[in-house]
Amino acid sequence: MFVIAKVYVQLVGDGAIVAFRGTEPTNVINWLADASLKEVAFHAKAKAVPHGYVHGGFYRNTRAIWPQVVEELARLNPRWIYLTGHSFGGALAVLAGALLVDYKAENHPLGYGDLWDRVKGIFTFGQPMVGDQAFADSYAVPLEGKLLRFVYAHDIVPHLPPGTNGWTPVHFGDEYHGSDGAKWTRHKKVSCPIPEELGTNLLVVGAWIKDQMGLAPRLELPYSWGDHAPNNYVRVSLPEGADSGSEFD
């Protein structure tokens, strides 16, 4: 089933941070999970699909580790919770938030529904799209003000999956853009799917080579794989006045 997800639940004072790990570049199963684009029904019962369709690889990985996550949160009983993740992990964080919304709405028999009231934010970095318009319509309102998506420069991943895989993915939630020399600011235009994948991938590889070799510095290409690297997101998020590299000090 290409399940490779990992999650870390870290207590911080009287709260907890739930961090879903992103794609491991050298892990073939992780890439296969990312590439499992076929949509599946989200949190469906019987033949009813009230909440739309989502990316199959992301959904299966979320559900595979989900029982451990909610059991651990119930055991720790934190006063507040933040969900977060980069890339693949960001997609899982959004799906986790949606599951908690459903638990609240359904008055979960084990009391897990109370966890949603403690969620203060869902912060994702370089997050791909996870579901279709029906999914967005179901969860945009309950996640409003809590879901913040951060996009660095020309990172291509927030524009994936492409709109040519049999269903049309969409984003929802507040989107913030940042780059070197420009801190995170709210972006009015939400990232949309790339029209197709092969030609765009060739373009983004070219953008990475251009950036690494310092070629044509004034030429900006619309998408880049290099901009997806986690260190870019860390660098823009550093406190005011901090130098690049100080995240290790």
Domain count within the chain = 1
Give a yes or no: residue 222 inside a domain: no
Answer whether residue 149 is part of any domain.
yes
Q: pTM to 2 decimals?
A: 0.85
CATH number of the domain at 80, please. Answer: 3.40.50.1820
Per-residue pLDDT of 194-247, as tens digits, reads: 876 545 455 545 544 545 555 445 456 677 878 899 999 999 998 876 776 666
pLDDT band at 107 (very low <50, low <70, confident <90, very high): confident
Question: Could you tell me if residue 136 is inside a domain?
Answer: yes
Whether residue 146 is contained in a domain is answered as yes
DSSP 247: G
pLDDT at 196 (0 to 100): 61
Which range among 8-22, 38-52, 56-70 shows the weakest confidence by mean pLDDT? 38-52
pLDDT tens digits for range 78-98: 999 999 999 999 999 999 999
200 assigned to some structural domain: no
Domain assignment of residue 26, yes or no: yes
Q: Is residue 123 situated within a structural domain? A: yes
Residue numbers of the domain that contains 236: 7-193+228-248
pLDDT band at 1 (very low <50, low <70, confident <90, very high): low
Q: What is the pLDDT of residue 201?
A: 52
Q: pLDDT tens-digit profile of 109-145?
A: 778 889 999 999 999 999 999 999 999 999 999 999 9
